[in-house]
Amino acid sequence: MSQSDYSYSSLPKEISLKIASSLEAPALSSLACCSRDWQEICVSDCLWKSLLKERWPLLCGADKDPNFKDWRGFYVKQHEEQKRQAESVINLVEQRSLFGSLNAVDYLHAISCLERMQIGFRDVQMLLLKPKLNVLLNLIGLHYCLNNLQVPAFHITEALWSGKIADRQVCVKWRSTYNFRGGDQSRCVYLKDLVKGEDDGEVLTVLERGATYELSRVQVSDPFSGSGDEHELITII
């Protein structure tokens, strides 16, 4: 049998659907571009309905219309809306940290925006836990999933590894209002270790308290941005 004989048309439809159903939305869309046959299978309502239910369980109300069609279109529309909202948070953080500083109010405001927009874990995974983004945005996404959504730690850890950001590191430096003799305190930690609580929850606690009178200064930095000793510095005061 030649290689060309191993085409989609040689597979039973149920097997093709089984293969397609194991894919996430981006991979499913890519598979649809391989051929007209795969495109036909990859736009099947049953696949996109399942993906939508998995990502946005609360939107399953569309089930009330038994004649509803175009689940793929519904999924894409919802994805674009969530992407638009996430980009508003990304733009906020990037604009406020143009000169390497971000105050605690803005940091916590970004997290509250995600909560108000009802951004889900899968949305954070797809839109914020990405290596091309500033590690501060990764940190905000991680913080939101862990504390606000209360996603199990092992799911967040898997998301960090799949997004290739588990080994990104943040360094936090802070000064307590009541610590007159101790000077600055600091902690450097990998994102993966934040999830596991290797720092005993200290870093996220400091960030949450950054806007209170207890801490006079908090700094979060990416030790690997820039070159040499020129590190990008995000200051939360």
Residue 230's pLDDT is what?
A: 36
Q: What is the pLDDT of residues 63-74, one digit of tens each?
A: 556 677 889 999
Q: Report the distance separating Cα 69 and Cα 49, nearest Å.
A: 10
CA distances from 140 to 51, 106, 111, 170 (A): 25, 11, 6, 12
Residues forming beta bridges with residue 233, ordered by sequence position: 221
Residue 216's pLDDT is what?
A: 54
Question: Which of 29-36's residues contact partners 24+ apart within 8 Å by CB, and which partners?
Answer: 35/7, 35/8
Low-confidence ranges of the chain (pLDDT < 50): 1-6, 62, 226-233, 237
Q: Report the distance separating Cα 211 and Cα 223, nearest Å.
A: 23
